[in-house]
Chain A
């Protein structure tokens, strides 16, 4: 078949698939509600949620994962359209480590150094490191599925961003259970969990986001 014939056949096919612009946010919100919600229904929201709400560090712990999820969503959609730049999304994402580092440094200054280690370890480290990647896993799978109709020219990077988004969403849900409001704890361990999902997303992206 000559190229001209192929063009003729292609041009008769006027069915356009929908892009990931609707599917990805939908997949993110639904899976976060279902899997984050299931975890919270089983493990329970922290009993002191109402009294802790409003304290600055507790709010930071609730909000920074949401920023990662939203920023990751926006950036992933940009990356799924060939030839488009990243826009302002990386700046939003970059604000997170800046603010977290500032919060950790402030805490280190405030705390006597003999308390640093116990604060860092906290009392729920194994749960935290297990649950964030575990809740993130189905969110990541749904996100990869939603992005099949996209065309990321850097599939590894796009997969990493989807992992970041899913890890952020999982941590945002997990934060309702977690009663550790010390930045030294959550800035470190939440980020370890989220970055683990990000790394796995990069590996999976190189394989499953190719087109």
Chain B
């Protein structure tokens, strides 16, 4: 894609706010390498799997709080403030104190996902704590890439019910992850 015409983060998140699922996925995908870079730069001693958990926690936090971005403002200051808060919080929950200077966001090298997927058992452990139906829905849409309509048909639910269950499941997931860190 011609970089001059590429949609900005603001374009993507605005479209997501209008209900554009693809734009939302593109937004989340494009911010993930930066978050991963921050987590790895700050938590190099923790191992890439824990850093990936922190990336996922931060993604869930961005998702739960995305209404706090005002559409007339740039996305980055908002995003960096959330990432900084959640990364510090995630390290603290694991007994590490980190300092995340805001300049980090300019210097950090975005990191691609290079972790062995078998290492990432943590989120699965948390998903299994959800009620069985929410867990099935989160897995079907996430891992199998099913659409809401497909899941609705497979579980003989309405699409609205699937959306509600997914929303509740993700919210619960975010809360559980906080409480399940030893």
Contact = CB atoms under 8 A, between A and B. Distances in A.
B32 A13 contact: no
B132 interface: no
B25 A8 contact: yes
Contact of B17 (A3, A16, A81, A210): A16
A12 B146 CA distance: 10
A151 B78 CA distance: 10
A9 B81 contact: no
B67 A9 contact: no
Given A13-B163, A82-B68, A151 B82 contact: yes
For the complex of A and B, the 8 pairs showing the least CB-CB separation, nearest first, are A9-B142, A82-B81, A83-B77, A83-B81, A11-B25, A5-B142, A151-B65, A83-B78
Contacts of A153: 81-82, 84-85
B91 interface: no
Interface in A1-55: 1-19
A211 B68 CA distance: 13
Contact of A17 (B52, B67, B148): B67
Given A13-B63, A80-B68, A6 B141 contact: no
10 contacts: A3-B55, A3-B59, A3-B113, A5-B143, A6-B123, A7-B32, A10-B28, A11-B24, A12-B21, A83-B80
A4 B113 contact: yes
B179 to A, nearest CB: 12
A149 interface: yes
Nearest to B84: A153
B9 interface: no
Most buried by B among A1, A12, A153: A12
Given A7-B25, A9-B142, A82-B81, 19 more contacts: A1-B127, A1-B143, A2-B120, A3-B59, A3-B120, A7-B29, A7-B32, A8-B143, A8-B145, A9-B170, A11-B28, A12-B21, A13-B170, A14-B16, A14-B163, A16-B66, A82-B78, A84-B77, A211-B64
Contacts of A18: 67
Interface residues of B, number: 54
Most buried by A among B59, B60, B65, B163: B65
Contact of B59 (A7, A16, A19, A149): A7
B56 A8 contact: no
Contacts of B24: 10-11, 14
Contacts of A7: 25, 28-29, 32, 59
Interface string B43-82: 0000000001001100111011111111001001111111
A82 B85 contact: yes
A10 B170 contact: yes
A72 interface: no
A14 B21 contact: yes
A201 interface: no
A23 to B, nearest CB: 12
B85 A1 contact: no
A157 to B, nearest CB: 13
Contacts of B60: 6, 10
Contacts of A2: 113, 117, 120, 143
A211 B61 contact: yes
A187 B66 CA distance: 41
Interface string B12-40: 00001101011011001100100000000
